[in-house]
Every structure is written in structure tokens, then in C-alpha cells.
Amino acid sequence: MQGQAPALQKLWDPVVRVLHGVLVTAFVANYFLLEEGDDPHQILGYLAVAAVVLRVLWGFRDTGAARWAAFWPTRRRLLRHVQALVRWEHQSIPGHSPIGALVMIVMLLCMTSLAVTGFLMEEVDYFWGNETIEGVHERIADGLAALVALHLFAAIAESVLLRENLPWSMVTGRRRIDSTAPQSWDQ
């Protein structure tokens, strides 16, 4: 029937939503609240890298929007997405847009890099007090903060353009998806 809003459909499963919550909590707490290098900072760092590993593995197991093959930012998908943006076409496609997927992958790599540099600073005597490693760690954290800000801005902008609360779909796991619209950037 014309004029009806698309029905809510399952998009993000509980595993993805919990892991997203863990990563958000770990980053916000470590970047803004906790003392660098203290035990809570380190514990959240280890928890974050465990969440990254689980998310990567889940991307091979899951059959929905979180599956790597469903959103991997191929050259073709990225080109189609950029062309759609240039034409000011906003499509309500389930899951990550190709550019959003690229940012998400870079954020996961940043979290992993933070874990590696943090581990080196705290657990490897050779790097104890090494200002270079500390500087790299801080720059990665600042870069991740910029990516998080970009991620939030893009989610809010797309929400406005699509007239849909995209961040809320990560909380509920459901999103209004138009079944007549393309279901991937490959179509």
C-alpha cells in the first residue's frame, strides 16, 4: 500500500550491538575519563581488543548486515556510493554504506593499534617510558576520536536526510527498511 512507512526489520543482532557498546564504552572512558596507564585503563584496553577480535570473527559467521561480505567496501561499492552522494541520492540500504564501512574498518584497526602500543608501553620493558611509542599511541587515539566524530556526524546527517534515527537502530537492532529499495550497493 502506498504512503505507508516501511516496516521495522531486524538489522543488527545482539552480538554486534553488545560489541559496539563495549567499544564505545572503552574508548570514551579511556579517552576522556580514566588516567592513562592505570589498571582500569589497561583493563578496558584489553576488553576493547577482545571485542575487536570477536567482531572480526563474527563478521565471518554472521549471515546478516554484519557479515563482511555484505558490506566490504569494494572499489565498485565505493564508486557507486560516491556517485550517489554527488547526485544527492540517499538510499536507505541496510547496514553500512561503503564509506561508512571503510571508516568502521579503520576504527577497528585504530583500536587494535591502541592495544598494541598500549601493551608495548606497559608490558615490554624495552618500551617503558619510550616517548615515541607514547606519542604514536596518543596520535592514534586522537585520530580515532576524529573518526568517531565523523562517524557520529555521518549517522546524524544520514538520519536527517533519510528521516530515520539511524543511531537508534544500533540500540534496538531494528530499522525501517524499504523493501522496494536496493538491498545492497551491488544492485
Query: CA gyration radius for the chain?
Result: 18
Domain-wise residue ranges, the chain: 10-175
Please tell me the predicted confidence (pLDDT) of residue 29: 98
Please tell me the predicted confidence (pLDDT) of residue 79: 93
Reading the chain (187 residues) residue by residue, the pLDDT tens digits are: 455 666 788 889 999 999 999 999 999 999 999 999 899 999 999 999 999 999 999 999 977 889 999 889 999 999 998 998 898 877 777 788 899 999 999 999 999 999 999 999 999 988 888 999 999 999 999 999 999 999 999 999 888 887 888 899 999 999 876 666 556 666 5
Please tell me the predicted confidence (pLDDT) of residue 143: 98
**φ, ψ (nearest 5 deg) of residue 8:** -70, 135
- Judge whether 71 and 101 are in contact, CB under 8 Å: yes
Hey, what's the cell of 62?
554472521
Please tell me the predicted confidence (pLDDT) of residue 129: 87
Least Cα distance to 8 among 94, 90, 133 occurs for 94
Burial of residue 170 (number of CB atoms within 10 Å: 0-12, 13-18, 19+):
middle
Please tell me the predicted confidence (pLDDT) of residue 40: 97
Q: Which of 1.20.950, 2.60.120, 1.10.10, 3.30.565 would CATH assign to domain 10-175?
A: 1.20.950
Helix (H, G, I), strand (E, B) or coil at 104: helix
Please tell me the predicted confidence (pLDDT) of residue 24: 97
| CA 121 to chain centroid | 26
Please tell me the predicted confidence (pLDDT) of residue 183: 61
Q: What does 114-176 look like in DSSP terms, one character per residue?
A: HHHHHHHHHH-GGGTT-HHHHHHHHHHHHHHHHHHHHHHHHHHHHHHHHTS-HHHHHHHSEEE
* pTM given for the model: 0.89
